[in-house]
Amino acid sequence: MKHTIDAKRLLCPMPVIRLGEMIDSVDTGDTIEMLATDPGVLHDIPAWCKVHGHKVIEINEKTDEIILLVEKIG
């Protein structure tokens, strides 16, 4: 199942906090699409996923937003 977090206009560390909150409530194998505007997510989300054992599937940078797709592992 795919879930979405709208983290646009939120600054670090809020996108990471929102991801942590949602990942606890979804099933293993589910994906979370994060919509963000803070370029810090390009480093912070992959680093957080590496530490917590989840996987960044895709990162798309657009003119006015960044879209990350994260899969919950285990």
Catalytic residue among 3, 8, 10, 12: 12
Query: What is the per-residue burial (b if ≥16 Cβ within 10 Å, else e) of 5-30?
Result: bebeebeeeebbebbeebbeebeeee
What is d(CA 35, CA 67) in angstroms, rounded to the nearest whole number?
A: 5
pTM (whole model) above 0.85: yes
Residue 59 is part of which domain span? 2-71
Per the structure, the count of domains in the chain is: 1
Low-confidence stretches of the chain (pLDDT < 50) are none
> Known catalytic residue: 49?
no
Query: Is there a contact between 70 and 55 (Cβ–Cβ < 8 Å)?
Result: yes
What's 16's domain CATH number?
3.30.110.40
φ/ψ (deg, to 5) at 36: -140, 160
> Whole-number mean pLDDT of the chain?
97
DSSP letter at 38 equals: -
